[in-house]
Each structure stands twice: as structure tokens, then as C-alpha cells.
Amino acid sequence: MILLDFTKSELINWVESVGFPKFRGSQLYDALINGKDENSKTNLPKDILIKVSELGIMQPIKIVQIQESKKEHNVKFLYKLNDGHLIEGMLMQYKFGNTLCVSTQVGCKMNCAFCASGLNGWLRNLSSGEILGQIVAVNSWLGGTAKERKITNVVLMGMGEPLDNYDNVVKFLKCATKESFEFSCRNISLSTCGITPKIEKLADEGLPVTLCISLHAPNDSIRKTIIPIARNYSIHAVLEAAKYYYTMTNRRIIIEYTVIKGVNDSFANAKELSELLANLPCHVNVIKLNEVKERGLKAPTQDACQQFVNTLNRFGISATTRRTLGDDIDGACGQLRNKVATNAEGGEKLSVASYKEVKQPKKSIKTNKVSDKNKKYFDKNKKSNTISKRHGGVSESKSNKNPKQRLHRQGR
Ligand code: SAH
């Protein structure tokens, strides 16, 4: 049993049911969100901490490996779950704050042609507490607490398809926005390959997070070669669901378009895409493919990506290129995890990277082995990170018109 799977009121009731006063439940909830476990100093008596840790798992996510980008202010994390499975996440640091990319499943069923997450299939869904636990782990790694949160934005763009784990993801969204860290929905983005009935369902939840649709093609015939689930849901149906989402939430849709050399990168593709999107309030995020060796697809040049954006702009579509973040740290979904063999997962692959448990720092970022460059960045961010709710977006893009302009998009 994972204690972070409980909402605050569920946890308080549970604490009472195992024989402790209700106020201890409230204290325990704060301790969990602050990343504490049975060995930590908290305002709970030791015997209560020990008892609850015997009955349930206090921290479901352990950071086992950290890779820092030399080029960018990004950190990739490999996490170990309680059953030994591995998942990953990425922290992206911007001037406005820190964005954490979280996973929603171990592996992925979608098997998109360019993505590393689906290479070994799907193993299981993450529980809501395991999704929340990723924020807890990295926030406390950064020296943050629930009140002084060091993570400003969250993007559900890691391993897995969030809408294929609908109930747990919605429970996570409720916990992350209405309690625990009290994120604003505008500071959370959910990316989907386009499971239309679930997009419509999400539109009715009253959780107006930014919806990102991985379109990657201007028509069904190309899309079906890249995204297998496109055989079940046509582009037309996906965009109709996106329109419904916009109507219900008033949130502009983000269209993600990963450009793959010779597959979807031509002038004609850009023109067709602009016609397709003419009536949807959206912004297109053009992403240069982060090449995954096993997938064999090639990335176009940065110039070709910019040309694609220029064509979209010329035809009246708002679009920017997204920086390819973390290409030196296995930045694409599932790449780091796939490098690490795990006996617990019954993996047969050889380990090319040894991993060990990373001690969770108890004090601040300064206690971590973070490069001076990144340390300076985190420190600089400290002030603004004491939650700037002004920032509605999820990350930064480079605008072709004004490179200084920071738009609300996620980078990988
Ligand atoms: N299943 C969800 C979320 C995970 S992927 C989805 O399909 O949206 C999130 C985004 O990561 C996708 O839009 C895709 O564009 C991007 N992505 C994954 N692997 C990539 C790669 N190798 N290169 C570039 N972008 C990638």
C-alpha cells in the first residue's frame, strides 16, 4: 500500500482507523509531501512513523541515477519503484522556474515509431501516488517543501500514455492541484497521442490543464505509419475532441509535431497541416526528432525545422520550434531507462550503465553533486521558485520572431 495514493482526507481517516488521532493524519500528510520517511525528522512521534511505515510505503519513488546535461540546465532522473521497476523523469530549468516531466506508466503500449518508451512494451500503470511521488522526490532533492515548492510546472510527457491510465492520472491531477502542492491547472500540461473518448472525458472533469496533442502528421495515412493508435482514432476525430476540450476549458490546445526526415517534414506537409488546423485555437510546437538508435528514424536539420515553422506561420498558424532538450542525456522518453537492465523487471538486456541508490539530500541543492553551472541556476531560481503562479505555461520555446520571447511550451 502506497500512502501517497490516499487523498489528504483518505489518509486522515486511515490514520484514525489504525488507532491514532486525526491530527496525526494531517501531520503525516505534510511529512509525505515533504518527502519524509520513517528515518526523517518530523513532528510525528517515532512510534507512529514506524507503525505507519510498517503498514504502508511512505515514499514510493527513489532516485537511483541522475544525469546532468552539459549543454542545458537539465537533469534526467532514473527512479526505482517499490517493486523494482524503473521509470524516468526530467527536470528542465528555465528563467521562470523549474519544469518537471513525469511518467505515468512503466513502459508504454502505444509503440510510436520514434519513441523509446514503447520499445519494451508496457509493464504496468503508475498509481496516483507514484506519479505524485516523482514531484515529491525531485522537489525535496531540490531542497523544496510543500510550502516552498521548487517545481513550478509539471508536464505529463514522460514514459507512458496518460490517458491510457485515466483514473490514476485524474486522481493525481486532483491531488496535485487541490491539495499537496496546490499547483494551478495552468501550470500542468498533459500530452496525449490522441485517445479521443478520454480527451472528451477529461474536458468534463473541471481540471483545465493544458492539453497537448501529439499529432506528428497532417493526414491519417502518414499518421498511421508513425502512431499505431491512429488506426483507431482518425485525425478528424482527434481534432474534434480537441475543439471540445477548448470549448469546455478555454485553454488553447498545443499541437506537438515531431519532425522526422523524409516522413513528415516537407513543404507540402506543412501546408496541409496549416489547412487542417485553420479552425482550431492552437499553437504548434515543432520538435526536431531526438534520434533513438533502435528506431532508425533520422532527424532533419534545425534549419529544416525552422523552415517548417516558417511555412506554418506563413499560412497563419502560430508555431515555434522547441529546443531539443537533453539530447546529450538520453532526453527522449524511455531512453535512459532502456539503457539500464533490471533483474527486477526480468530484463535480459545487458546493463550499460550501473546504477546505485542516490541519497536524498536533506538540506539543499548545495549538498548535491550538481555542476557549478546548474547550481548557480538553481540558486538564481530560488526566489522566483517560491511559486510564481503567474507563469501559466509549461516551458519555453524559441520564437522565430523574437528569440527572447518565452512561450508556454514544454521542452524535452
Ligand atoms: N504518450 C504521450 C506522452 C509521452 S510522449 C504522447 O504521446 O503525447 C510526449 C512527447 O514526447 C510526444 O509528443 C513526442 O513528440 C515527444 N517525443 C517522444 N520521443 C521523442 C523523440 N525521440 N524525439 C522527439 N520527441 C519525442
Q: DSSP per residue over 52-90, as a string?
A: HHHHSBS---EEEEEEE-SSSSEEEEEEE-TTS-EEEEE
Phi, psi (rounded to 5 degrees) for 223: -60, -40
49 and 195 together in one domain: no
Residue ending a domain, choose from 55, 84, 99: 55
Q: What is the best residue among 104, 114, 328 to mutate for testing ligand 1's pocket, by most ligand atoms within 8 Å of CB?
A: 114
Please indicate, yes or no, whether residues 294 and 155 belong to a single structural domain of this protein: yes
pLDDT at 385: 33
Say yes or no: CB of residue 391 within 6 Å of ligand 1.
no
291, exposed or middle or buried, with CB in 10 Å at 0-12, 13-18, 19+?
middle
pLDDT, tens digit, for every residue of 276-315?
A: 999 999 999 999 999 988 888 999 999 999 999 999 999 9
Instruction: Find out whether the beta carbon of 209 lies less than 6 Å from any atom of ligand 1.
Output: no
Domain range for 42 = 3-55
Same domain for 229 and 284, yes or no, is yes
**How far is C-alpha 86 from the geometric centre of its chain's CA atoms?**
15
Is the pLDDT higher at 51 or at 73?
Answer: 51
3-state secondary structure of 399: coil
**Exposed e or buried b per residue across 115-154, where buried means at least 16 C-beta atoms within 10 angstroms of its C-beta:** bbbbbbebbebbbbbbbbbbbbbbbbbbbbebeebbbbbb
- Is there a single domain that holds both residue 248 and residue 324? yes
* Atom number in ligand 1 closest to CA 257: 15
Tell me what pLDDT residue 83 has. Answer: 95
- Whether residue 162 is found in the same domain as residue 271: yes
Please determine, for residue 348, whether its predicted confidence score (pLDDT) is greater than 50: no
Residues noted as catalytic: 88, 333
What distance in Å separates the CA atoms of residue 92 and residue 381, rounded to the nearest whole number?
12
43-49: average pLDDT: 95
Q: Is 249 in the pocket of ligand 1 (CB under 6 A)?
A: no
pLDDT at res. 294:
87
| Closest ligand 1 atom number to CA of residue 114 | 22
Per-residue pLDDT band for 96 (boundaries 50, 70, 90) equals confident
Q: For residue 99, which amino acid is it?
A: T
Q: Are residue 84 and residue 45 in the same domain, yes or no? A: no
From the list 266, 310, 265, 272, the residue with the least C-alpha distance to 288 is 265
Atom of ligand 1 nearest to the CA of 108: 1
Residue 126 three-state SS: coil
Instruction: Label residue 324 by pLDDT band (50, 70, 90).
Output: low
Same domain, 338 and 189: yes
Name the residue of 155, 157, 321 to mutate for ligand 1: max ligand atoms within 8 A of Cβ. 157
Return d(Cα 251, Cα 241) in angstroms, integer: 13
**Residue 136 is placed in which grid cell?**
515529491
Taking residues 351-360, report their average pLDDT. Answer: 36
Asked if residue 127 and residue 12 are part of one domain, the reply reads: no
Which pLDDT score, from 0 to 100, does residue 327 have?
Answer: 57
What CA–CA distances, in Å, run from 249 to 237, 288, 383, 407? 18, 29, 31, 20
Position 336 scores a pLDDT of: 52
Note whether 213 and 278 are same-domain residues. Answer: yes
Rounded to an integer, what distance in angstroms lies between the CA atom of residue 204 and that of residue 279? 22
| Per-residue pLDDT tens digits for 134-192 | 999 999 999 999 999 999 999 999 999 999 999 999 999 999 999 999 999 999 999 99
Question: Is the model's pTM score more than 0.75?
Answer: yes
Number of domains in the chain: 2
User: Are 112 and 231 within one domain?
Assistant: yes
User: What pLDDT was estimated at residue 95?
Assistant: 82
Cell of 256: 506537438
Q: Return d(Cα 217, Cα 259) in angstroms, integer.
A: 9
Cβ of 332 below 6 Å from ligand 1: yes
- On whether both 312 and 356 belong to a single domain, the answer is yes
Atom of ligand 1 nearest to the CA of 213: 8
C-alpha cell at 257: 509535431
Give the pLDDT score at 68.
Answer: 85
* 90 ligand 1 Cβ < 6 A: no
258 lines ligand 1 (CB under 6 A): yes
Contact call for residues 265 and 306 (beta carbons, < 8 A): no
210 three-state secondary structure: strand
CATH of the domain at 349: 3.20.20.70
Residues 111 and 175 in one domain: yes
